[in-house]
Amino acid sequence: MSLGSKRTNAYVLLALLALGLVFVLTVEDPVFIDYGVSFFYFLLLSASWNLLAGYAGQLSFAQMALALAGGYATAGISNSTGMSPLVSMVLAGLVTAAFGLVMGIVTLRFREIYLGLATYAFGGMFASWALAAGDITGGSRGMEVMPLFADGDNLARYALWLALGLNVAFFAAQWAILSSRWGFMAMAVRDREAVAQGLGVRTTLVKVTFFAFTAFWAGIAGGFYASYVSLVTPAMGSFTNMGLVMAMTVVGGMGSMLGPIFGTFIFRVIDYWTSGYGGEYTSLIFAALMLAAMLFARDGVIGLVARYGGKLMPKRDRWALDRPAEAPKPPAA
């Protein structure tokens, strides 16, 4: 049985979940707990961006801006109503899903780099507004957010459990979507949109749905992390962070369910080992790693394992970026 099969992908994901549980149950060092939280935060962002760009073919540069919107929405709801951030972040996800819906509708006519530039403009406008509207957002100082849990002594550990749970929920939802007709329609739109449309796939509905769904999870991630650090600032939505999310996905393997997991892990490990040498060196290594991936391993870590692992892993997993000979036929209504 190959790792390219759906069953084996499930086994690998379950094995990684087991490793995650072992880590959460055994880690004691506050530094490692904090790195664990940030790992799951970036994993949720990179995996949701991978679903939109890697599977649905919608290149968006607004994922971090949506996370920023989720952070501000969580802060606004919690601070104004006293509602728990756990509930507020879900409501914030609905707010960002609405933003994603609007973004998807407005950018329907754009393709590839033009779509990316349009979403970049959306993200830039929101980040600029957050910086300028100091009376609402706190400007560069940011806005304070209610802590996730009342027990401050165990806040980080509870947050680690919650971060793991959010990722499990996302990957389960992603698995269900990619196994359904929605997954096949999304890949048909990505590969040959005109052909898919001619075969009856409602391309507009598919695009807008994936924009809204991934925006929901970006908002959840932003609301979670803002509540974890008890602060949300415009820096969360910076293009530097957006580039980091993209790099994690590309290095791990874009268009593969496992790719963002490996990519995020690699980048967080590098960040830990280079933290004592200054952020400039970390950024330099990140840039070099992404450049090397684009030059020599365009399929990322997943592709390298496929290339040198023989039968252990085919070139791509079942839900990958291979271009089919013909667009799949839409299922009967």
The more confident residue out of 313 and 136 is 136
Residue 51 neighbours by CB under 8 Å, 6+ apart: 174, 177, 210, 213, 214
Share of the chain above pLDDT 90, in %: 52
Record the pTM. 0.88
* Amino acid found at 183: G
Find out whether 232 and 72 touch, Cβ atoms under 8 Å. yes
Mutual orientation of helices 203-229 and 85-106 as an angle, nearest 10°? 150
DSSP string for residues in 145-159: ---S-S-GGGHHHHH
Phi, psi dihedral angles at 173 (to 5 degrees) = -65, -40
Average pLDDT, the chain: 85
pLDDT > 70 fraction of the chain, expressed in percent and rounded = 88
pLDDT at site 22? 94
**What average pLDDT does range 19-43 have in this prediction?**
94
Each residue of 207-249: pLDDT tens digit?
999 999 999 999 999 999 999 999 999 999 988 899 999 999 9
DSSP notation for 15-68: HHHHHHHHHHHH---HHHHHHHHHHHHHHHHHHHHHIIIIIS----S-HHHHHH
Q: Does residue 269 sit within a domain?
A: no
- Inter-CA distances, 83 with 78, 80, 148, 222, 266, Å: 5, 8, 11, 17, 36
- The answer to whether position 300 is within a domain reads no
Helices then strands, counting H and E runs in the chain, come out as 14, 2
Query: In terms of residue numbers, what domain contains 64?
Result: 6-238
With cut-offs at 50, 70 and 90, classify the pLDDT of residue 5: low
Model pLDDT for residues 86-128, shown as the tens digit of each residue: 999 999 999 999 999 999 999 888 888 889 899 999 988 998 9
DSSP string, 256-276: -SSHHHHHHHHHHHHHHHHGG
User: Out of 118-122, 202-206, 293-297, which region has the weakest mean confidence (pLDDT)?
Assistant: 293-297
Closest by CA position to 242, among listed 48, 93, 36 = 48
Q: Identify which of 202, 77, 75 has the alpha carbon closest to the alpha carbon of residue 142.
A: 75
Higher local confidence (pLDDT), 52 or 303:
52
326 occurs within a structural domain: no
Confirm whether 312 is domain-assigned. no
Residue 10 lies in a domain: yes
* 137: Cα within 13 Å, side-chain hemisphere: 23
* In a domain? residue 11: yes
Query: Residue 152's pLDDT is what?
Result: 62
Residue 104 exposed, middle or buried by CB count within 10 Å (0-12, 13-18, 19+): buried
Residue 251 domain-assigned? no
Q: What is the mean pLDDT of residues 275-281?
A: 72
Q: Residue 310 has what pLDDT? A: 47
pLDDT at 63 over 50: yes
Instruction: Grade residue 299 by pLDDT with cuts at 50, 70 and 90.
Output: confident
- Does any domain span residue 284? no
Number of domains within the chain? 1
